[in-house]
Structure 1
């Protein structure tokens, strides 16, 4: 029995077959494994069906399979092995799900004992153990015990950058645990409970960010979505919790159907809907965004439909722009100015010219008629706010003028549209960061036409890599100069005024670094500290900055002290705090692989970051892949569009694997080829496939060959020499790594058919598209690899393996057996 093929078939059944059909498949395969005496395959399949029964709530069957797999492994004399412990871990999980908590605990303890004897701490096995063990503690109501286990798990998974799903799952479990602690431990003060809640929200945001970076395809994504719904519900943010519950239900149903877990989330969803409706009916809003959206839903939507029916699906509506309410930061103090009810409507230029004034008049009339329903009319501020025409933040706008005003630079919208709404590098550098934050804040309620949102999403995608790196270097330099260097010098001179300026500047630049590393635009300075709480990384800077803000003058720490630039005055609490901040920032810089160092004086890294900004290979590779994808999308096939033309993930991964091996000089040359082809309206990808047809479909090739650029005999001879070397490399790779090779193309052109293109033919087609300059550089690259005694096929396949989540080619080869 080919167990790997069985597991592939099993994975592919979800979403295509009923749960009963999937279960039948597993039971048949288990029976076959026993009949064929493939007992190790039977162990694997029993583990799968245990998990299936657990996820689908089949208690009696699940317990039966638990007992069966334990008995089988004992008969195979596998007790005390890591494999036995891993199976026992699955059994413990099943027992926990089925309510057998005492048996579950004993199994977890035994698994830890085996791992301790067999594995070093830090092995990835521990992460799964502690994550699942924490769930048992939760079931038992011991949330502090659960938190302890999850911190252990997090300590392990964060050592593995490729373990993005495990990192997300651990953070979700930790957040759920902290939420329970924040609301169930009665001995906590309100402030302590809020701090625990904030930690939970930080972990949830980090978890969702990791799941979404992975494409949101993992089954456990639904648990994070549901947990975020719970967290928002706890704070009576019912409207937003409804959205998370709804998405969680869709994800769960897609993977395992409407299980008990689905029904629990569904009940939460219904409760949140009911609470949201009650809140709306009472007109009790947490912030002005809720108030304004309720106003639009209740009155604005119908007004547009009734008065401007032909434009209803052309008017984008939302609340975006200046003001604390657009950031969600508004509070009681915010109500003293520019806090009126309303929303924004954005029209394309031609529509604005036709109905802009009429729509504005209808909008202002609507506000005057209904605003009293959304405010306390007895408030003295109420009458002053009624002059809606004074406000320039809400109302009717043309899209082009709105973005020009918000961003603060002139925009050529026709050029911008032709460029896919992408800003140029120079424009990115011109626009103040706080303006970019304003452009992407708030909420868009409706945008059928999609123009307003398309521009917004391009801006939201953040700075180009090189601009981002340069901004990061600048802010690190400013922080280091003010907080780590000049502050101490000023204190040593008794210049306390300038020292305080240094403190304030360093605090601001520290926050800027947190925003940059979170790839989030920093708002206007008065909201930077508030926004820090919502960042996925370095939000913990906030508590250190709060401490600095209330510290007394540190003059006493400098009395009688001789200043030395290479010494840190640890008697000065502000100096110590800035060192804490530097350590946190350096840890994140290392985590994101921007630098690799231990020196806490951060200015030391600025030059390195600037060099990377000017010479970042990854950015060039992404540019090439985007250019290729754009051309690949336009390839016309006689038999219609190919499935692979809609598979961006595989395309980008395979191309990236190849280009990671190339030199930067070669990448630059090929990138120029692609851009030049675009300029001329020529499609290099279509040319590549056309050249392949010489081997795969000779008759078709004969009809089109005269339309392809002619290649000289000398050039073809050079190509063939390169191909010969690379085919030999691939043959050697396939011999050493057969499991990896069988998932790749066949090697030789004599194996070509209409439906199968070999590695040799594909390479011949690709080389045929290179410019003379690129081919020469590629030839030199191949010779260099050969002279170094390396195998390019191995290098590329190693990149492929890592991008698919394996540690190496060797790791993939072993796991694909």
Structure 2
């Protein structure tokens, strides 16, 4: 949206219906009422246009307008929106003044014990947490919890926001188990109240937060699943231009970094920076922190060049055929179905070949699965892709995905290892979700299943 179009929307949001009778007259409250809905519509127009630079002046003018109109409720709405915006911009010092003003105004209005009071407490606590004022933040969150018990229904999504934000506080203060508990409760509320949890932005954000918390607890496989699930939801709902998408990308990048897949981490961090720049600009804490993480990933990628080839497989089979050339290949029961939800390397704009898709699946899920559940067999299992589909020969493109194409990888075990863990590994593999990177579920032909 260009500036002229944006200004037209803002002018529509704030018509000068009650202009002073004479030039130079000061507007009086009765002459120029504050329209909260128009204010919110104008703010939405700014964010929809990714014109964050205009939001600050717009909010500051709205504060003046609401105060001149004597509209305390309107002013409280503006202050709540300002807290969120200043937090996103890293303007924490200024935000502490906004927090104080909002709490004093709400107290003066006598709204303690109402939903508006609960919402204001949550926003204030989150702003103080972002400013590093953890003691004040926790105290405000506890007040918000007590207020919410009286004002919000058990399925109210604002309760989920409270649990989500409180989990971030616990994560930042090293209380990771408490953080995981809060996130589990947030996810339960959101999934039960959502009309479609598979396209719900709040559900996706909670999966990202849970992934990072599990990562801090060294639960790598579970962290990888939740981070990928978040990206799948963003793509299902076509939410890739949401500002929150950057957090999902950066969260998955962090998981891949811990999986030593530094090249993929670099790719994900770069995508996250593009979204942050588009939505907030470069002069923000979000951009600086993510850029610093990118530099670390780039350093590790250069240190581990030329490529991140899996070190715990004895053979990476990628040619077509029946796999008979793979030493110790199990003739039956070898997992080769679909794998979990999503990674960030596929944006839906450029196709990915089947071999690369298979490698991405292995690095994201197969490797962590074996490390978590079968650690004593690491280094004894081969991973790759074989079969009758054109992707196994490297001939696949958008037109040739006529059969057997989709997310999968194969694992080969020695006869001895297959006898010990084959059935259990097969069950674990088949329990994984059926889509990945926007592809799937895979539809296999009879021939691919061994018929004939």
TM bucket by the smaller chain?
Answer: 0.5 to 0.7
**Do the aligned partners of residues 524 and 100 (structure 1) sit closer, same or farther apart at CA in structure 2, a change above 3 Å counting?**
farther
1:215-242 Cα deviation digits (max 9, x unpaired)? 1232211111101000000111011111
2:263·2:308 contact (CA, 8 Å) conserved in 1? no
**Do the aligned partners of residues 76 and 436 (structure 1) sit closer, same or farther apart at CA in structure 2, a change above 3 Å counting?**
same
Residue 94 (structure 1) aligns with:
127
2:354·2:396 contact (CA, 8 Å) conserved in 1? no
Q: Which of 426, 430, 436 matches 2:405?
A: 436
**Do the aligned partners of residues 320 and 2 (structure 1) sit closer, same or farther apart at CA in structure 2, a change above 3 Å counting?**
same
Counterparts of 1:124 and 1:334 in 2: how far apart (Å)?
45
Q: Which of 277, 280, 301 matches 1:276?
A: 301
1:82 paired with 2:115, answer yes
Matches within 5 A, 1:148-547: 148-162=181-195, 164-182=200-218, 196-215=219-238, 216-258=240-282, 259-281=284-306, 285-286=309-310, 320=354, 328=362, 394=393, 403=400, 407=402, 431=403, 435-437=404-406, 511=430, 515=434, 519-521=440-442
1:108·1:133 contact (CA, 8 Å) conserved in 2? yes
Matches within 5 A, 1:687-706: none
Counterparts of 1:181 and 1:337 in 2: how far apart (Å)?
30
Bigger helix share: 1
**Do the aligned partners of residues 15 and 119 (structure 1) sit closer, same or farther apart at CA in structure 2, a change above 3 Å counting?**
closer
1:755-808 Cα deviation digits (max 9, x unpaired)? xxxxxxxxxxxxxxxxxxxxxxxxxxxxxxxxxxxxxxxxxxxxxxxxxxxxxx
Q: Which runs of 4+ in 1 moved over 4 A?
A: 15-20, 316-319, 321-327, 329-339, 392-395, 397-400, 507-510, 516-519, 522-525
**Do the aligned partners of residues 12 and 66 (structure 1) sit closer, same or farther apart at CA in structure 2, a change above 3 Å counting?**
same
**Do the aligned partners of residues 276 and 394 (structure 1) sit closer, same or farther apart at CA in structure 2, a change above 3 Å counting?**
farther
1:164-204 Cα deviation digits (max 9, x unpaired)? 1111111111111110111xxxxxxxxxxxxx211111111
**Do the aligned partners of residues 326 and 33 (structure 1) sit closer, same or farther apart at CA in structure 2, a change above 3 Å counting?**
closer
1:115 paired with 2:140, answer no
What is the alpha-carbon root mean square deviation over aligned residues? 4.0
1:172·1:204 contact (CA, 8 Å) conserved in 2? yes
TM (normalized to structure 2)?
A: 0.66
1:319·1:394 contact (CA, 8 Å) conserved in 2? no
Counterparts of 1:398 and 1:26 in 2: how far apart (Å)?
52
Q: Where does the alignment leave 5 or more consecutive residues of structure 2 unmatched?
A: 1-33, 319-349, 368-377, 410-422
TM (normalized to structure 1)?
A: 0.38
- What's the CA shift for 1:14? 3.3
Counterparts of 2:231 and 2:47 in 1: how far apart (Å)?
23
Residue 144 (structure 1) aligns with:
177
2:171·2:179 contact (CA, 8 Å) conserved in 1? yes
Residue 57 of structure 2 aligns to a residue in which SS? helix
Residue 305 of structure 2 aligns to a residue in which SS? helix
1:30-60 Cα deviation digits (max 9, x unpaired)? 1110111121111100111111111111122
Residue 61 (structure 1) aligns with:
94
Counterparts of 1:232 and 1:223 in 2: how far apart (Å)?
14
2:353·2:396 contact (CA, 8 Å) conserved in 1? no
**Do the aligned partners of residues 229 and 165 (structure 1) sit closer, same or farther apart at CA in structure 2, a change above 3 Å counting?**
same
Higher relative CO (Cα under 8 Å, sequence separation at least 6) belongs to 2
Q: Where does the alignment leave 5 or more consecutive residues of structure 1 unmatched?
A: 183-195, 294-315, 340-345, 347-391, 408-430, 443-503, 529-817
**Do the aligned partners of residues 9 and 135 (structure 1) sit closer, same or farther apart at CA in structure 2, a change above 3 Å counting?**
same
- What's the CA shift for 1:263? 1.0
1:238·1:272 contact (CA, 8 Å) conserved in 2? yes
